[in-house]
Amino acid sequence: MVRYLLANLVMAEEYPQIYTVSGLTQQIKSRLETNFPRVWVSGEISNLRQPASGHYYFTLKDEASQLRAVLFRGNQQYLRHKPSAGRQVVCRGRISVYEARGEYQLLIDYLEPLGIGALAQAFEELKRRLAAEGLFDPVHKQPLPFLPRRLAVVTSPSGAAIRDFLQILNRRFPNLEVLICPVKVQGAGAAAEIVQALDLLNTFSDLDVLVLARGGGSLEDLWAFNEEAVARAIFRSRVPVISAIGHEIDFTIADLVADVRAPTPSAAAELVVQRKEELVFTLQRLATTLQRRFQALVQGRRERLCYLSQRLPDPRRRLADLRLRMDDRLEQFQRAWQARLRDRQHRLQLARANLRLMSPRRAAISGRQLVEQQAARLRRCLETRLARQRLQLQHSQERLQALNPQAILDRGYAIATTLPGQEVVRDVQRVQVGAALRVRVARGSMDCEIQKINKKLNR
C-alpha cells in the first residue's frame, strides 16, 4: 500500500521533487491517516509487551503479513478483554505512521477475541468467577413470601415490561401495593443506577419482594444485568429478588444470582402472588374441610362419651359404696385410735412408775440412810481403832517410862558431864584430876572438881 501511494505521487508530479526523509514520512502519514481513519483488522497477537507506561505494544499477523499495533492506556478502561499472546482478535483503530522509525502501525481503540463475541466471553468469565465465589449457590436463595403486602419493581417506567407486569398483577391481586423505582435498563450508567436502586430499596423495612424487570433485547441491550456490580447488589439484598429480564430464551448473570428467576416480567407477576380468586377458593375449600373434620371429631367424641357413659356405673351407687367404706374406715380409725391411746396411757403409767423409782427424793433418802449406816460403821471402826491405839500408847508409855533417864536418876544414879563441853563422862580415862564436872541427879545438878580418879570398878 505504501509503494502504491508513492507511485501515485511520483506520477502526479510534472517535475521531479526531492523529499527529505521526515518530509516524505509526514506526507505518507497524512495520506494514510486521511484514507484509513477507522479500520477493522483481524489477526493473531504476537510480540506482546507492556512497559511501565501501561501501553500495550504487539504485532498482528496472519499467514502472509504482519502489522504493528499499539493499545494506549487510556483506551483500556473500555475493554472487557486484555490482549494476550497467541490470541486471535478483531481490532478497531486507525492507521498511523511512527515518524521516528518510518513504520506504519495500527492505533487500536477497541479489541475483542475472534471466534466468540467479546460480550459472550465476558459473560462466561464473570459467570465462572462468581460461581466459584458461591454467589449462585442455592443455599443463599431466599424463599418468596406467600402473600406479600408491598413489593418494589426496579425497571424503566416507560417500557412495556412494567405495563405488562402491573396489568397481570392488578388482574391477579388488585389490593397489592407496588412501588416503582425508575432506572435506566441499558446503555452507559444503567448498571450504576440499578445498583443504587437495589441498595436504596433495601433500606425500606416494609418491602417483601424486589422485582428486577426488563423487556427483551440483544446481549448488548441486556448487558447492564450482566455487570458484576449488579450481581453483587442482588446477592447482598436482604429482600428476596425476582429476576425478570428479557424473554424466556434470554439469560443473564442477574438471573443466576437472584433468589427466583422469572422467564418474563409477566411471569414474575404470576410468581409474586396467586390469583385472588384462587386464594379465596382455596380458603373456602380449607374452611369446608376444616368444618367437616371438626364435625367428624365432635361426633367421634360424642360417640366415645356415650360409650364411656354406658360403661360408667351409677354415681349414686358409687357414692353409697363410698359412704359405707368411709364408715368402715372411720370405725377402724376410732378403734386404732383407742388402742393407740390405751397403749400410750399404759406407757405413761410405766414411765411414771419408773420416774418415781428414779425420783431424786427417793435417791436422797436412800443416800441419807446409806450415809448414816456408813457413819455408824465409821464410828465403830474409829472407836475400835482408838481403843487399840490407846492400848498401844499405854504400852509405849510404859516402855518409854522404863527407858526414861529421869527414872534411872530416881533410882539413885547420876550423870556426869564435863565443863564447859557438856560431854557425858563414860570413861574415867577421858578426864583428869582437877577437871570440872557437872553431876546431874534426880533433883538438880552439882558442879564438882575431880580430886582423885579410881580406875578400878567397884562391885
Give the pLDDT confidence of 222-254 residue by residue, as tens digits. Answer: 888 888 999 999 999 999 999 988 877 778 889
Question: Is there a single domain that holds both residue 148 and residue 200?
Answer: yes
CA angle 108, 113, 115 (to 5 degrees): 135
Identify the CATH number of the domain in which residue 59 sits.
2.40.50.140
Question: Is there a single domain that holds both residue 209 and residue 240?
Answer: yes
Question: Is there a single domain that holds both residue 125 and residue 178?
Answer: yes
- Bridging pattern class, strands 415-418 and 88-98: unpaired
- Pick from 115, 143, 174: which residue ends a domain? 115
Provide the mean pLDDT of the chain: 82
Question: Is there a single domain that holds both residue 148 and residue 269?
Answer: yes
- Pick from 60, 89, 115: which residue ends a domain? 115
Q: Which residue has the cell 475472534?
A: 114
Identify the CATH number of the domain in which residue 257 sits.
3.40.50.10550
In a domain, 258, yes or no: yes
Phi, psi of 440 (to 5 degrees): -105, 130
**CA within 13 Å, CB half, 459:** 0
Question: Is there a single domain that holds both residue 187 and residue 154?
Answer: yes
What is the pLDDT, as a whole number, of residue 53?
Answer: 86
CB proximity list for 46: less than 8 A, separation 6 or greater: 58, 59, 60, 61, 66, 85, 86
What is the pLDDT, as a whole number, of residue 14?
Answer: 53
In a domain, 391, yes or no: yes
In a domain, 320, yes or no: no
Question: Is there a single domain that holds both residue 222 and residue 246?
Answer: yes
Residue 410: pLDDT above 50? Answer: yes
CA distance 108 to 112: 11
Question: Is there a single domain that holds both residue 165 and residue 184?
Answer: yes
What is the pLDDT, as a whole number, of residue 351?
Answer: 85
Copy the grid coordinates of residue 266. 409477566
* Contact (Cβ atoms closer than 8 angstroms) between residue 213 and residue 245: yes
| Number of independent structural domains in the chain | 5
**Residue range(s) defining the domain that contains residue 83:** 2-115
In a domain, 355, yes or no: no
In a domain, 373, yes or no: no
Q: What is the pLDDT averaged over residues 383-410?
A: 81
What is the pLDDT, as a whole number, of residue 113?
Answer: 75
Question: Is there a single domain that holds both residue 37 and residue 137?
Answer: no
Question: Is there a single domain that holds both residue 51 and residue 82?
Answer: yes
CA distance 395 to 342: 76
Q: Which residues of 312-331 are buried (b: 16+ CB within 10 A; e: fewer)?
A: eeeeeeeeeeeeeeeeeeee
CA distance 127 to 86: 24
In a domain, 60, yes or no: yes
* Contact (Cβ atoms closer than 8 angstroms) between residue 57 and residue 105: no
In a domain, 287, yes or no: yes
Question: Is there a single domain that holds both residue 125 and residue 214?
Answer: yes
Of residues 413 and 458, the one with the higher pLDDT is 413
In a domain, 361, yes or no: no
CB proximity list for 265: less than 8 A, separation 6 or greater: 155, 161, 162, 164, 165, 211, 213, 214, 215, 244
Q: Which residue has the cell 435506566?
A: 184
Question: Is there a single domain that holds both residue 127 and residue 109?
Answer: no
Question: Is there a single domain that holds both residue 71 and residue 156?
Answer: no
Phi, psi of 385 (to 5 degrees): -65, -40
CA distance 119 to 90: 13
102 pLDDT tier (thresholds 50, 70, 90): confident
What is the pLDDT, as a whole number, of residue 269?
Answer: 83
- Bridging pattern class, strands 88-98 and 103-113: antiparallel
